[in-house]
Amino acid sequence: MTPRVRLPHPGGLTLFLMLDQSFYKGVIIIFSTIGEVFPVLLKGIEITIVVLVLSAIFGYLFAFIAGLCRLSNNLILRKFTGFYVEVFRGTSLIVQLFWLYYAIPMLFGFDLGSNLLAGVLAIALNYGAYMSEIVRGSILSVAKGQTEAATALNMSRFQRMRFVIFPQAVRMMLPEFGNYLIQMLKATSLVSLIGMTDILYHGNILRSSDLSAAPTVYFLVLVFYFIIALPLIFLTRKMEDISKKGVAS
C-alpha cells in the first residue's frame, strides 16, 4: 500500500536541464514579466472584490427569502419559489449571466443598466437558489423536540423561529455558506466575459498583447484568486468549528 516516492537521480536532473537552452530563457522571461504583470492585475482586484461582496450579500439574502418561502404555508409562494430554485439550479451560471445581460434587454425592452448589475444578479440568483436549499434543510433538521419545548414555553410561531429554530439552523448553515462564498469568488471571474474589468479581464488584455507572457499572466491570476480565497478558506474552517460546537458566542 505504502507507495515509494523516488526523487529523480541528481545526474538525471542535470541532464534534463541541459537538454534545452531555451528552458533558461523561458524561465528568465517568466520572472522578468512578473514585475510588469503584477501591477496590471492589481487594478482588477477592486472590481473582483466588489462583485464578490455584492453577490454574497444578495446571494445570502435570496437564499434566506427563498428558503423560508419554501417552508411557508402558502402553496402559491411555495410553488413559485420552488420554480425559481429549480430553474436556477437546473441551468448554468454562464447561461444565466448571458441571458440576463443579452436577452433581458430584448425581452422586456429595458437594459439592466450595467454589467455590474447583470453580473451580481446572475451570481446572487444562482447561488441564492443553491443556498436556499441549505437554509431550508437546516431549518428542517433542527430537532422536533426544540419546537415542542418552545411551544411548551408558549412561544408564538414567530418567537419559536426567532429564538429557537433560526439560531440553531444558522449555525448549521455556516460551513456551507463559507463553501459557497468560495464558489461565488470563483464565479466572479465570469463577469470578465461581459466586459467588467476584474482581475481576469486585465489578465486577458495582457495576454492578447503578448502571447508569450500567457504563462506568467494566468499563473499570477490564479495566485491572485487564491490569495483572496485564503481568508475565506480559513473562515470556512472556523465556521465548521463553530457549527460543530453548536454553541457559539
Partner 1 sequence: MNNWNWDIFFDAFPIVIQGLGITIGLTFACYIFALVFGFVWTFLRRIPYKPINWIVTWVMEFIRSTPPLVQLFFIFYALPMVPVVGVALDPFTSAVLGLGVHFSTYIGEVYRSGIEGVEKGQWEASKALNFSTTKKWTKIILPQAIPPTIPMLGNYLIIMFKEVPLASTIGVVGILQMANDYGAQHWRYLEPLTIVAILFLVLSYPSAILVSKLEKKMNRRFDKKAPTGSKPLKEEGKGAVM
Partner 2 sequence: MSEQTLQNEDKTDQSKSKQEPIVKYEDVHKSFGDVQVLKGINLDIMPGEKVAVIGPSGSGKTTIIRMLMTLEQPTSGHIIVDGQYLWHMEQDGKLVPANEKHLREVRGDIGMVFQHFNLFPHMTILENCMTAPIHVQKEDKESAKKRSIEMLEKVGLGDKLDNYPSQLSGGQKQRVAMARALVMRPKVMLFDEVTSALDPELVGEVLEVIRDIAKEGEMAMVLVTHEMEFAIDIADRVLFLDEGVIAEEGPPSQVIENPTNERLQTFLHRFRS
Q: Which of residues 183-222 bind partner 1 (CB under 8 A)?
A: 185-190, 193, 200, 203-204, 207, 211-215, 217-219, 221-222
Decide if residue 246 touches partner 2 (CB under 8 A): yes
Please state, as a whole number, how many other Cβ atoms lie within 10 Å of the Cβ of residue 85: 23
Decide if residue 204 touches partner 2 (CB under 8 A): no
- 50: nearest Cα among 115, 126, 129: 115
- Measured from the CB atom, the residue of 118 and 150 that comes closer to partner 2 is 150
Q: Which residue of 141, 156, 208, 212 would you call a contact of partner 2, by CB under 8 A? A: 156
Residues 6+ apart with CB under 8 A from 67: 131, 132, 133, 134, 135, 136, 139
Binding partner at 225 among partner 1, partner 2, none, C-beta below 5 to 8 Å by kind: partner 1
What is the spatial distance between Cα 237 and Cα 31, in angstroms, rounded to a whole number?
A: 34
- Residue 20 phi, psi dihedral angles, 5° rounding: -140, 120
Using CB under 8 A, which residues numbered 112 to 171 contact partner 1? 134, 137-138, 141-143, 145-146, 168-169
Assigned C-alpha cell, 132:
436556499
Q: What is the smallest separation between the CB atom of 163 and partner 2, expressed in angstroms?
A: 6
Where on the chain is the footprint of partner 2 (CB under 8 A)?
Answer: 143, 145-146, 148-157, 159, 163-164, 167-168, 171, 245-248
